[in-house]
């Protein structure tokens, strides 16, 4: 057991920190995302990260990655968050599309996409959820019917981040109306510029738009764009979801760390009473619990190559911590909690964070589904359905 | 970055687990109504557990707190009712430099505890204000006079480390005499006692004036040890809940299929896993003498005690009526979790201490605590 950086890790951290200091444009620092000019800046920023060799750290070298240990990825996410730099704009491509293509893709698919995902030339989105298929993903209805050398896709997807700027979509479709619903699904890589694709942004309770609906009307997708086998889409989709929750814990800890640091600054500035001080301390303790649970998971991942159950635990714990923490910040703002320019930490920072946090227990697996996963796969309790 | 026990430490854990399952199981503890069986102490000594951190010259294994951490957690899982916490966490650090005493502890010939709290004086190790027990020197001989309360495992302790005040300040002495009065506790596996000293002969352990510093170190170690024990207790309660939810059938199905049941079991499990991370972190800090050890131990104990209590409460609920009976072992786990919770203060008290470390310091210092920036490992030649 040694919780300190190894000399190699420290050197990586030191170089990265200096690089961020020199290269992060001031207008991107602490930017909370959204549309418009940010996309342009975000692409340029992602390209800069790529050129400096910080993208795809754990990807194999043959696919353009750095082949570095997972600890470097953890350090990268920590330092990126600490400098309040935005993430690479292609998070879906890096975290989900890339690993799934590496696992299931043909050589043609790998050479067509992997390098372009790393360099942010290709932005990806995910087409899994539907209006009638949320947590019960396997009940999805978007149809893909073979017509010659292409599948013809009809249906609707929802909650799709980045779809409004995406070049490609990870699309899960039904190719067989087999009543055994996990069978008969096929995973397609869809060019978002195909005829018949329409994206409509959804406005969130924060007032901003991160998610979209995607409508597919007679969209022709070449047969060569099937990922895995026709009818084996469920297994391929599980690879995607495993990666979604795989190293997610580190990004979440890093984001929570920034929030706790700001919460402490707010509590100091407002000279809060003993009761609130104790609650601030609690959030710091919960952050460290999350951090060290991730470190345990990281050690296991580096020793065995297989992610443990900590990913689901981290997501559950982080989402609830972030909700509690942001509400605590508003309570510290007290009677001024409604004022969008009274927080002293940027306009409406805490108000935005608090509202945004309500999505945390829904996105990337609702807390209810995650508890089912832990109950069944980690604790071995009998299946509930 | 390597946050795992070594293979040797894992081997120690599996040996401890199989020995305890066979010889000192939770069920066996319950059959004896949680009473201490003095013969069991010698068994622990033969396994080398009483001398883990005692140097090899003094008859110990010359290992550190991480190995002791493994033992604390495993003993917690089976509610071992002997004075391991009192001897190893509370008393042993005060015996440093006293080879004869260390040898006897390592050999299993001597158990010990720490007497600090007083009825009208301090109640916590963190506090020495109003400490009234007096140490008097007559030539080379010391005597102590005063009354100590809340002394863990006093009944079985061979020697008692006592805090007292002399002209030179607060110091620590060991005492074998005095009048001992047992006090019944909710958790029968770790009773308290009252110690009355009326000119009892004493040996000086820690010089007057150095007592506060020694107490602070003992306290950090004790809080980390209790966090580890709490993880063991919580894990045991969770295991019982999982087993019951998987086997108990109602409405024709195992009750674990109902999410009102399974989600509660998951929350108990998640709480203890998070506590485990904090407890191991605190243990590492103690083993390394890290400057964050005190705040890590306070954080870990606060969180782990609450997690263990919650896991027991969820487990009792999942068990239904049977979990509420005396014959079931759950109430014993629950009571130990509550013992741990009360020692040195419930979670809010410890969190206020953490708040001070975070909020009453410079921005640089609080950022260091938030980001957990640790110095770089030394390159091993």
Q: Taking CB atoms and an 8 Å limit, are B242 and A277 in contact across chains?
A: no
Strands (E), chain A: 124-127, 143-147, 150-157, 168-174, 185-191, 197-202, 211-222, 226-227
Claim to verify: residue B139 and residue B104 sit in the same structural domain? no
Tokens 């007559």 -> residue? B138
Q: Taking CB atoms and an 8 Å limit, are A277 and B370 in contact across chains?
A: no
Name, in order, each residue with C-beta under 8 angstroms of B274's C-beta and a sequence gap of 6 or more: A286, A289, A290, A293, A313, A317, B303, B307
CATH of the domain at A317: 1.20.140.10
Closest residue in A to B273 (Cα) is A293
Burial of B289 (C-beta count, 10 Å sphere; 0-12/13-18/19+): exposed
Claim to verify: residue B270 and residue B186 sit in the same structural domain? no
Tokens 């580190």 -> residue? A250
Q: Taking CB atoms and an 8 Å limit, are A310 and B303 in contact across chains?
A: no
Q: Compute the nearest-CA separation of B1 from chain A (Å).
A: 5
Q: Taking CB atoms and an 8 Å limit, are B262 and A371 in contact across chains?
A: yes
Claim to verify: residue A164 and residue A78 sit in the same structural domain? no
Residue A343 lies in a domain: yes
Residue A220 lies in a domain: yes
Claim to verify: residue B38 and residue B99 sit in the same structural domain? yes
Structure tokens at B340: 């741990």
Q: Compute the nearest-CA separation of B274 from chain A (Å).
A: 5
- The partner residue sitting opposite A293, judged by closest CB among B256, B277, B359, is B277
Could you say which DSSP state residue B376 is in? P
Claim to verify: residue A228 and residue A287 sit in the same structural domain? no
Contact between residue A186 and residue A175 where contact means Cβ atoms under 8 Å apart: yes
Using N-to-C axis directions, what is the helix angle for A274-304 and A70-82, rounded to 10°? 150
Q: Taking CB atoms and an 8 Å limit, are A4 and B278 in contact across chains?
A: no
Residue B377 lies in a domain: no
Residue A211 scores a pLDDT above 60: yes
Claim to verify: residue A370 and residue A259 sit in the same structural domain? yes
CATH of the domain at A57: 1.10.540.10
Residue B160 lies in a domain: yes
Q: How far apart are CA B200 and CA B117, in angstroms?
A: 18
Contact between residue B333 and residue B339 where contact means Cβ atoms under 8 Å apart: no
Does the beta carbon of A77 lie under 8 angstroms from any beta carbon of chain B? no
Residue A1 lies in a domain: no
Q: How far apart are CA B79 and CA A56, in angstroms?
A: 48
Claim to verify: residue B169 and residue B60 sit in the same structural domain? no
Q: How far apart are CA B299 and CA B308, in angstroms?
A: 14
Residue A107 lies in a domain: no
Residue A116 lies in a domain: no
**Mutation target among B13, B244, B262 for the A interface, most CBs of A within 10 A:** B262
Q: Compute the nearest-CA separation of A127 from chain B (Å).
A: 29
CATH of the domain at B299: 1.20.140.10
Residue B175 lies in a domain: yes
Residue B192 lies in a domain: yes
SS3 assignment, position A201: strand
Please report the ipTM that was assigned to this predicted complex. 0.96
- The partner residue sitting opposite A7, judged by closest CB among B242, B269, B377, is B377
Q: What is the pLDDT of residue B380?
A: 46
Claim to verify: residue A270 and residue A354 sit in the same structural domain? yes
Claim to verify: residue B176 and residue B243 sit in the same structural domain? no
Q: Taking CB atoms and an 8 Å limit, are A4 and B376 in contact across chains?
A: yes
Q: Compute the nearest-CA separation of B167 from chain A (Å).
A: 36
Residue A37 scores a pLDDT above 70: no
Residue A19: give the domain boundaries. Answer: 7-89
Claim to verify: residue A197 and residue A261 sit in the same structural domain? no
Residue B381 lies in a domain: no
Claim to verify: residue B361 and residue B324 sit in the same structural domain? yes
Give phi and psi for B320, each to the nearest 5: 65, -150
Q: Taking CB atoms and an 8 Å limit, are B1 and A291 in contact across chains?
A: no
Number of domains in chain B: 3
- Mean of per-residue pLDDT scores for chain A: 91
Using N-to-C axis directions, what is the helix angle for B65-77 and B211-247, rounded to 10°? 40
Q: What is the pLDDT of residue B381?
A: 39
Listed as ranges, residues in chain B with pLDDT below 70 are: 374-381
Q: Taking CB atoms and an 8 Å limit, are B2 and A299 in contact across chains?
A: yes
Claim to verify: residue A62 and residue A24 sit in the same structural domain? yes
Q: What is the pLDDT of residue A181?
A: 73
Residue B380 lies in a domain: no
Claim to verify: residue B242 and residue B275 sit in the same structural domain? yes
Claim to verify: residue A135 and residue A53 sit in the same structural domain? no
Q: Which tens digits make up the pLDDT trace of A133-148? A: 988 898 999 999 999 9
Residue A34 scores a pLDDT above 70: no
Claim to verify: residue A227 and residue A256 sit in the same structural domain? no
Residues from chain A that touch B266, judged by Cβ atoms under 8 A, are 371, 374-375, 379
CATH of the domain at B171: 2.40.110.10
Q: What is the mean pLDDT of residues A106-118?
A: 97
Claim to verify: residue B226 and residue B353 sit in the same structural domain? yes
- Choosing from B164, B189, B208, the residue where a domain stops is B208
Closest residue in A to B352 (Cα) is A278
CATH of the domain at A196: 2.40.110.10
Residues from chain A that touch B276, judged by Cβ atoms under 8 A, are 296
Claim to verify: residue B356 and residue B288 sit in the same structural domain? yes
Residue B36 lies in a domain: yes
Does the beta carbon of A371 lie under 8 angstroms from any beta carbon of chain B? yes
Q: Which tens digits make up the pLDDT trace of A146-197? A: 999 999 999 999 999 999 999 999 999 999 887 677 889 999 999 999 999 9
Question: Which residues of A are part of the catalytic machinery?
Answer: 244
CATH of the domain at B87: 1.10.540.10
**Mutation target among A14, A68, A79, A278 for the B interface, most CBs of B within 10 A:** A278
Residue A96 lies in a domain: no
Residue B290: give the domain boundaries. Answer: 213-370
Does the beta carbon of A369 lie under 8 angstroms from any beta carbon of chain B? no
Number of domains in chain A: 3
- Choosing from B95, B110, B125, the residue where a domain stops is B110
Residue B375 lies in a domain: no
Claim to verify: residue A223 and residue A345 sit in the same structural domain? no
Q: How far apart are CA A101 and CA B190, in angstroms?
A: 58
- Choosing from B146, B176, B208, the residue where a domain stops is B208
Does the beta carbon of A147 lie under 8 angstroms from any beta carbon of chain B? no
Q: Which tens digits make up the pLDDT trace of B178-232? A: 999 999 999 999 999 999 999 999 999 999 999 999 999 999 999 999 999 999 9
Claim to verify: residue B99 and residue B169 sit in the same structural domain? no
Claim to verify: residue A321 and residue A299 sit in the same structural domain? yes
Claim to verify: residue A313 and residue A197 sit in the same structural domain? no
Q: What is the pLDDT of residue A36?
A: 54
Handedness of CA B294, B300, B303, B305 (dihedral sign): negative
Contact between residue A70 and residue A10 where contact means Cβ atoms under 8 Å apart: no
Contact between residue A12 and residue A77 where contact means Cβ atoms under 8 Å apart: no
Q: What is the pLDDT of residue A183?
A: 84
Claim to verify: residue A275 and residue A303 sit in the same structural domain? yes
Q: Taking CB atoms and an 8 Å limit, are A298 and B257 in contact across chains?
A: no
Q: Which tens digits make up the pLDDT trace of A267-316? A: 999 999 999 999 999 999 999 999 999 999 889 888 887 777 777 888 99
Q: What is the pLDDT of residue A35?
A: 47
Q: Which tens digits make up the pLDDT trace of A216-257? A: 999 999 999 999 999 999 999 988 887 766 567 888 898 999
Tokens 């984001």 -> residue? A255
Claim to verify: residue B25 and residue B104 sit in the same structural domain? yes
Contact between residue A383 and residue A373 where contact means Cβ atoms under 8 Å apart: no
- Choosing from A233, A264, A298, the residue where a domain stops is A233
Does the beta carbon of A284 lie under 8 angstroms from any beta carbon of chain B? yes
Residues from chain B that touch A295, judged by Cβ atoms under 8 A, are 1, 3, 277
Could you say which DSSP state residue A130 is in? B
SS3 assignment, position A247: coil
**CB pairs A-B closer than 8 Å:** 177
Residue A45 lies in a domain: yes
Q: Taking CB atoms and an 8 Å limit, are B259 and A3 in contact across chains?
A: no
**Mutation target among B263, B266, B369 for the A interface, most CBs of A within 10 A:** B266
Q: What is the pLDDT of residue B333?
A: 98
Q: Taking CB atoms and an 8 Å limit, are A292 and B5 in contact across chains?
A: no
Residue A264 scores a pLDDT above 90: yes
Across B114-130, b (16+ Cβ under 10 Å) vs e yields: bbbbbeebbeebbebee
Could you say which DSSP state residue A124 is in? E
Residue A209 scores a pLDDT above 50: yes
Claim to verify: residue B82 and residue B201 sit in the same structural domain? no
Q: Compute the nearest-CA separation of B210 from chain A (Å).
A: 30
Residue A169 lies in a domain: yes
Q: What is the mean pLDDT of residues A31-50?
A: 77
């Amino acid at each position: 057991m040694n919780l300190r950086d190894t000399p190699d890790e420290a050197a990586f951290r030191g170089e990265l920190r200096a690089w961020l200091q020199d290269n992060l444009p001031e207008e991107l620092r602490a930017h909370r995302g959204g549309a418009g000019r940010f996309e342009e800046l975000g692409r340029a920023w992602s390209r800069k990260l790529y050129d400096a060799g910080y993208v795809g750290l754990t990807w194999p070298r043959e696919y353009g990655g750095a082949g570095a240990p997972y600890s470097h990825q953890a350090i990268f996410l920590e330092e990126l968050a600490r400098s309040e730099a935005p993430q690479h704009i292609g998070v879906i491509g890096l975290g989900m599309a890339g690993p799934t293509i590496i696992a299931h893709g043909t050589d043609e698919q790998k050479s067509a996409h992997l390098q372009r995902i790393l360099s942010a030339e290709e932005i990806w989105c995910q087409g899994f959820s539907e209006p009638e298929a949320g947590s019960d993903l396997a009940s999805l209805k978007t149809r893909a019917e073979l017509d010659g050398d292409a599948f013809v896709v009809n249906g609707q997807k929802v909650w799709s981040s980045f779809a409004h700027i995406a070049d490609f979509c990870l699309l899960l479709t039904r190719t067989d109306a087999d009543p055994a619903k996990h069978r008969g699904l096929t995973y397609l890589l869809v060019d978002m510029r195909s005829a018949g694709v329409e994206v409509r942004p959804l406005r969130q309770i924060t007032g901003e738009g991160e998610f979209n609906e995607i409508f597919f009307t007679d969209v022709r997708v070449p047969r060569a764009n099937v990922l895995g086998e026709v009818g084996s889409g469920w297994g391929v989709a599980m690879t995607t979801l495993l990666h979604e929750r795989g190293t997610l814990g580190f990004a979440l800890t890093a984001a929570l760390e920034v929030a706790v640091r700001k919460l402490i600054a707010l509590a100091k500035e407002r000279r809060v009473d003993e009761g609130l001080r104790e609650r601030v301390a609690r959030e710091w303790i919960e952050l460290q619990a999350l951090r060290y649970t991730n470190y345990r998971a990281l050690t296991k991942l580096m020793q065995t190559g297989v992610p443990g159950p900590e990913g689901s635990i981290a997501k559950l714990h982080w989402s609830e911590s972030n909700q509690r923490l942001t509400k605590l910040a508003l309570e510290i703002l007290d009677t001024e909690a409604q004022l969008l320019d009274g927080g002293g930490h940027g306009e409406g920072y805490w108000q935005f964070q608090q509202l945004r946090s309500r999505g945390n227990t829904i996105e990337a697996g609702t807390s209810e589904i995650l508890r089912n996963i832990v109950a069944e796969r980690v604790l071995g309790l009998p299946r509930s359905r | 970055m390597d946050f795992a026990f070594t293979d040797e430490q894992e081997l120690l854990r599996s040996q401890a687990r199989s020995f305890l399952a066979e010889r000192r199981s939770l069920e066996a503890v319950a059959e004896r109504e949680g009473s201490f069986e003095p013969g069991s102490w010698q068994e622990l000594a033969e396994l080398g557990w009483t001398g883990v951190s005692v140097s090899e010259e003094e008859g110990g294994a010359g290992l550190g707190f991480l190995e002791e951490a493994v033992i604390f957690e495993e003993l917690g899982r089976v509610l071992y009712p002997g004075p391991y916490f009192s001897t190893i966490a509370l008393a042993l650090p005060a015996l440093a430099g006293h080879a004869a005493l260390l040898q006897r502890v390592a050999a299993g010939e001597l158990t010990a505890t720490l007497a600090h709290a007083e009825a009208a004086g301090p109640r916590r190790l963190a506090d020495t204000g109003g400490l009234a027990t007096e140490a008097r020197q007559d030539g080379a001989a010391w005597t102590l006079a005063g009354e100590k309360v809340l002394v863990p495992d006093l009944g079985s302790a061979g020697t008692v480390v006592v805090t007292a005040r002399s002209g030179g300040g607060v110091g620590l002495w060991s005492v074998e005499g005095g009048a001992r009065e047992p006090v019944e506790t909710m958790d029968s596996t770790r009773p308290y006692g009252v110690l009355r000293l009326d000119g009892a002969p004493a040996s000086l352990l820690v010089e007057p004036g150095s007592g506060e510093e020694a107490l602070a170190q003992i306290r950090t170690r004790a809080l980390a040890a209790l966090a580890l024990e709490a993880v063991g207790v919580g894990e045991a309660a969770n295991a019982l809940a999982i087993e019951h939810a998987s086997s108990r059938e109602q409405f024709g199905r195992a009750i674990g299929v109902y999410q009102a049941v399974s989600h509660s079991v998951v929350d108990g499990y998640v709480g203890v896993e998070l506590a485990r991370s904090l407890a191991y972190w605190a243990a590492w800090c103690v083993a390394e003498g890290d400057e964050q050890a005190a705040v890590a131990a306070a954080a870990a104990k606060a969180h782990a005690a609450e997690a263990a209590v919650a896991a027991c409460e969820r487990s009792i609920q999942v068990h239904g009526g049977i979990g509420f009976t005396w014959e079931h072992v759950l109430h014993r786990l629950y009571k130990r979790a509550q013992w741990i919770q009360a020692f040195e203060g419930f979670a809010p008290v410890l969190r206020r201490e953490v708040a001070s470390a975070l909020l009453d310091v410079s921005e640089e210092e609080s950022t260091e605590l938030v980001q957990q920036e640790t110095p770089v490992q030394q390159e091993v030649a």
